[in-house]
A and B are shown apart, each in its own frame.
Chain A
Amino acid sequence: MTERNALGRVVTLAVFAGALAFPFLASGYRLYQGAQVLIDVIALLGLNLLTGFNGQISLGHGAFFAIGAYGAAILVVKLGLPYWLAIPIASAVCFGAGFLFGFPALRFGGLYLALATFALAVATPQLLSYNGFNAFTGGSQGLTLTRPGAPFGLLLSGDQWLYLFCLLWTAALYWAATNLVRGRVGRALIAIRDQPIAAESMGVNAALYKTTCFGVSALYAGVAGGLSAIVVGFVSPESFGLPLSLSFLVGIVVGGLASLGGALFGALFIEFVPNLAAQLSVNFGESAMALPGAIYGVLLILVMAVMPTGVAGAMRAALGFVRRNFAA
């Protein structure tokens, strides 16, 4: 194991230790926000596998997030399944949906894929509130779930348990993503992104990798959506529109394209900037509603211009600088 790898592991473990300690230090709304950050981390990991590593842009990941959320909500509310079983099932459905969307996506170049997923993002709220599905989706009213408490008689509050439940999923999916990216599959994904023709002539089955990558990415979004339905206790069509999809894009760009650790920065960012704006709007009135959009927009352009590798890349560069200049 090289020195660099060792350092990375130490940092990762420290972050997880901190995340594990968090529910015993904070409570109430902070804990709820913590769970939201973890959910965003999962969604961003998924989108980053697709966009950052495989180079397929998606402006419509909110749609897969919505399938996960609605899937979990329907399984729990309408079919009476336990929530911990609903999430894997809903995310498997998401994998299928992503895989199927990945097929036409094969034929789209980068730009067309952006167009198609943009259309998906814009159309999602309308489809969710479609009257024909009212019996399942509750129409524009949405569905309400009861928040589960801690199982096995654990001495945890509901908030603490849900946070830890999200952390468990986050840790497992982060571990899965790092292994996926480091191995043969990750190299194939990156090769397809950078040199599609060379990759194919090396025997990489680009079509299979790309569709599967779309499916896995949708699965991540689905898990995040399912967790969000359970943590928030409510799903409604309007929360899964274009703004959600775009905030995921903002998250991976700010955190760092093709950086798994960057997902944490991205998630913190997209969770707390709107929060900040909501607090400011108490003082500044309605015009503060414009703040998240303005900050997102300016940052998207600035990050692409100044540090295309995002916060994670900037930190890596800073670390490298320190090591080169100050290490013995």
Chain B
Amino acid sequence: MSEFLHQLASGLALGGVYAILALALVMIYQATQLVNFAQGEMAMFSTYFAWKLMDSGWPYWRAFAATVVVSFFGGLIIERVVVRPFAKAPVLASIIVFIGLVLIFNALAGWLYGYSIQEFESPFSGRPWFGNVYMSAHESGAVVVSLCVLALVYGFFRFTPLGLAMRAAAQNPTSSRLVGIRVGWMLAIGWGLAAAIGAVAGMMAAPIVYLDPNMMGGVLLYAFAGAVLGGIDNPFGAAFGGFAVGVLENLVGAYVVGDEVKLSVALAIIVGVLVWRPSGLFGRRLVARV
């Protein structure tokens, strides 16, 4: 039983990472009906940036904050320079551009920081929290950070004028433009926010999966699975899906198929959900006008 609870708890910790990465994916999906395949590699690159800062002597939280801010502007610039020109292109072209970004970030990280695996420090060390024997301090911390990110994002979209403007721009670009919202910039800010959230996900994942240029491949796949499971147009669904996938992946990996084929759990979830319930658990059913 304690082994089971242990698996459940560490599933929750990684699930938190999947949940916020899925949230980042959903943010971009809502505005553009596209999934950013480069989200994981962007997060990986941000994490390397944080690692470099800490390597040069910055304390953890200062490096954390700097990375989040830099990632925000990085995401914003990518949207303006690379993604914007393809705004009206077909889906296929956009996906190819995202794959291009994946390859570029992967190569850039390998070139700048090397391909060897690095340890990434966790800010939460020492004894497990609250006498919780099933989770390490980092795992508890990662869950708390994920929940904080979710709450912050909710607060931002619910209670701030900018968040409202962004929601409006995503839902009805034409009308938003007519009432004076700069829709293009809202999209760019969305990319910035997604990149910043991704950076947090990367920094929370790195102490668990270790830092190397390919660290986010699996994480991104689980985030996809989470987003699809919860409904790719629903932020709450995606966050729930992320946690659910984290737990499922760990339990199925431990008790059913074995650790070494865990990634196929994500494949099974994605294909299964798309076949039986394409809109996910909480998504809206899409009806297209012919």
Interface residues of A (CB under 8 A from B): 51, 55, 57, 59, 104, 107-112, 114-116, 118-120, 122-123, 126-127, 129-131, 197, 242, 246, 249-250, 253, 257, 286-287, 289-294, 296-301, 304-305, 308
Contacts and interface: CB of A to CB of B under 8 A. Distances in A.
18 contacts: A104-B271, A104-B274, A104-B275, A107-B274, A118-B37, A119-B224, A120-B267, A123-B266, A127-B264, A197-B290, A249-B96, A286-B115, A287-B110, A297-B105, A301-B82, A301-B100, A301-B101, A301-B104
A321 B224 CA distance: 45
A115 B228 contact: yes
Contacts of A123: 221, 261, 263-264, 266-267
Interface string B65-108: 00000000000000000100110011111011101111111111
A109 B104 CA distance: 26
Point out which of B100, B115, B266 has the most chain A C-beta atoms below 10 A from its C-beta: B100
Nearest to B257: A130
Question: Secondary structure at chain B's binding surface: helix, strand, loop or mixed?
Answer: helix
A287 B115 CA distance: 9
A217 to B, nearest CB: 15
Nearest to B107: A293
A120 B224 CA distance: 12
Contact of B103 (A109, A118, A246): A246
B91 A297 contact: no
A145 B199 CA distance: 45
A110 B107 contact: no
Contact of A294 (B99, B104, B263, B264): B104
B96 A304 contact: yes
Contacts, number: 144
Given A104-B274, A300-B103, A294 B108 contact: yes
Contacts of A300: 96-97, 99-100, 103
B258 interface: yes
Nearest to B34: A111
Contact of B100 (A119, A197, A297): A297
B129 to A, nearest CB: 33
A290 B107 contact: yes
A127 B82 contact: no
A292 B107 CA distance: 8
A129 B260 CA distance: 8
B21 to A, nearest CB: 14
A287 B110 CA distance: 7
B283 to A, nearest CB: 12
Nearest to A119: B267
Contacts of A294: 103-104, 107-108, 111
A237 to B, nearest CB: 10
Interface string B115-137: 10000000000000000000000
